[in-house]
């Protein structure tokens, strides 16, 4: 009986062994089938999102539309985290910072009278990209648990900075008196238009993330997750690839943040607490690591579960906390593994 924790052998990356056995158990043909299944699940999700406003109009349920917007926004953030967590094994515990940075970029610009997307979009991407580049350059020098703690610390740094921005509401947050304009037009203030714009951004981000995963770049990223030493031996230094992936993920989450600010017409430091970062990780893992469609499903299930449980009791976390522990201890592969057509549990 040995309960020795596997001390990280020096030549492999710490998270490497996680995914490997799953991949190994798969038959050779399964790779392409897995992609088809992934596509089908994503298409189904998008179709449901597209039909939802129609359904909601029939039921005269406006809450449903608001709620679905929230789900889609967090799905974008989860997809962005999934890119580095699921495919690069980079456990970033500060991802909510980008949600907040994106939201604050839009809101602060609006506060100063810059409402148009032609300004707010580039600024948001630039701010998030820069923050990711600078902090990522430091974080990615470290491995394993150091990486987790440092991303967490930088996330907190962003959070505390936001709370101390007294000119922009500090702790209380900042109200945006309207929504981002598109070339001077206020079309986003129409709820349905805004809804479909969010859906469009979600689809765009999902497709982009999938292309990246399947590209040469994506192969390097996934290779580095399995064996850093092997990559060095064939002449690839994983550092720069991870950094670029980290920046892409940060910008994508920033985009989600910008949409979040628009959806609520309000921003607050609460968007970037470390609990939020933890929840993003939960969404990705709940959906299934290594699946981008899974992250969408994960985000949706998390928020629906939160919504349902909070109807049962105000203290819904009393149920959700142990549920999470059980999922970690006994669930493998996340919700994607439960959807038919996947690999059988062996």
Partner 1 sequence: MTEPILQLDDLTKAYGALKVTDHVSIDVLPGEIHAVIGPNGAGKTTLIGQISGALRPDGGHVRFDGRDVTALPMHARARAGLARSFQITEILPAFTARENVALALQARAGHSFRFLRNVSRDRDLNERAGQCLAELGLAERADIPAGILSHGEKRALELAIAIACKPKLLLLDEPMAGTGREETDRLVEVLQAMKGRYAMLLVEHDMSAVFALADRISVLVYGQIVATGTPEEIRSSARVREAYLGEEAAA
Partner 2 sequence: MSATLFAVQTLNGLQLGILLFLIAAGLTLVFGVMDFINLAHGVQYMLGAYLAVAAYAVTGTFWGALVLGLAGALVIGLLLEVLVFRHLYDRDHLDQVLATFGIILFLNEAVKAIWGSTPLTLPMPEVLDGSFELMDGLLYPVYRIALIVAGLAVAVLLYVLVSKTRVGMLVRAGATNAPMVAALGVDIRRLFMLVFGFGAMLAGFAGILAAPILVVEPGMGDNLLILAFVVIVIGGIGSIRGAFLAALIVGLVDTLGRGFATDIAKLALSPSAANDVGPAIASMLIYVLMAAVLFFRPSGLFPARGG
Residues that bind partner 1 (CB under 8 A): 11, 19-24, 26, 28, 31, 211-212, 214-220, 222-223, 226-227, 229-237, 241, 244
Of 32 and 166, the one with the shorter C-beta distance to partner 2 is 166
Phi, psi torsion values for 174, nearest 5 degrees: -135, 130
CB of 133 to partner 1, least distance (A): 15
CB of 285 to partner 1, least distance (A): 18
Of 164 and 215, the one with the shorter C-beta distance to partner 1 is 215
Other CB atoms within 10 Å distance of the CB of residue 311: 8
CB of 15 to partner 2, least distance (A): 6
Instruction: Classify residue 266 by its DSSP letter.
Output: E
Residues that bind partner 2 (CB under 8 A): 1-8, 10, 14-15, 17-18, 85, 91, 93, 135, 138, 141-142, 144-146, 148-150, 152-154, 156-157, 160-161, 163-167, 274-275, 278, 281-282, 285, 315-318, 320-325, 327-329
Residue 237: both structure tokens together? 């230094």
Report what 106 binds from partner 2, partner 1, none; CB cut-off 5-8 Å by kind. none
- DSSP secondary structure letters along 48-115: HHHHHHHHHHHHT-HHHHHHHHHHHHHHHHHHHHHHHHHHH----S-THHHHHHHHHHHHHHHHTT--
Three-state SS for 114-141 is: CCEHHHHHHHHHHHHHHHHHHHHHHHCC
Of 141 and 219, the one with the shorter C-beta distance to partner 2 is 141
Residue 208: both structure tokens together? 């982009």
Report what 39 binds from partner 2, partner 1, none; CB cut-off 5-8 Å by kind. none
Residue 185, strand partner residues: 182
CB of 58 to partner 2, least distance (A): 36
In sequence order, the 6+-apart residues with CB closer than 8 A to the CB of 162 are: 100, 104, 269, 272
Of 28 and 58, the one with the shorter C-beta distance to partner 1 is 28
Distance (Å, whole) CA 174 – CA 333: 39
CB of 47 to partner 2, least distance (A): 30
CB of 20 to partner 2, least distance (A): 11
Of 68 and 89, the one with the shorter C-beta distance to partner 2 is 89
């Amino acid at each position: 009986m040995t309960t020795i924790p596997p001390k990280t052998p020096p030549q492999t990356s710490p998270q490497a062994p996680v995914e490997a056995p799953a991949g190994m158990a798969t038959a050779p043909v399964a790779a392409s089938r897995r992609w088809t299944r992934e596509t089908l699940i994503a298409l189904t999700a998008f179709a449901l999102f597209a039909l939802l406003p129609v359904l909601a109009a029939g039921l005269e349920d406006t809450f449903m539309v608001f709620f679905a917007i929230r789900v889609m926004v967090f799905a974008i953030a989860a997809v962005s985290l999934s890119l580095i967590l699921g495919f690069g094994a980079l456990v970033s515990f500060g991802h909510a910072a980008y949600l907040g940075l994106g939201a604050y970029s839009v809101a602060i610009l609006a506060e100063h009278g810059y409402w148009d997307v032609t300004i707010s979009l580039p600024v948001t991407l630039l701010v998030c990209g820069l923050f990711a580049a600078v902090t990522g350059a430091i974080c990615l020098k470290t491995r394993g648990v150091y990486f987790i703690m440092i991303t967490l610390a930088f996330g907190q740094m962003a959070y505390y900075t936001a709370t101390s921005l007294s000119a922009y509401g500090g702790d209380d947050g900042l109200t945006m008196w309207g929504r981002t304009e598109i070339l001077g037009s206020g079309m986003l203030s129409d709820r349905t238009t805004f809804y479909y714009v969010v859906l469009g951004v979600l689809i765009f981000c999902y497709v982009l993330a999938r292309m990246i995963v399947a590209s040469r770049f994506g192969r390097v990223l996934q290779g580095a997750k399995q064996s850093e030493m092997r990559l060095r031996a064939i002449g690839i230094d994983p550092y720069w690839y991870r950094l670029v992936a980290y920046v892409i993920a940060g910008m994508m989450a920033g985009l989600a943040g910008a949409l979040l600010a628009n959806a609520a017409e309000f921003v607050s430091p609460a968007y970037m607490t470390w609990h939020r970062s933890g929840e993003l990780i939960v969404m990705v893992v709940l959906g299934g690591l290594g699946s981008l469609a899974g992250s969408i499903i994960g985000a949706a299930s998390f928020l629906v579960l939160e919504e349902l449980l909070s109807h049962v009791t105000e203290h819904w976390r009393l149920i959700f906390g142990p549920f999470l522990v059980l999922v970690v201890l006994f669930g493998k592969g996340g919700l994607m593994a439960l959807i038919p057509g996947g690999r059988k549990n062996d």
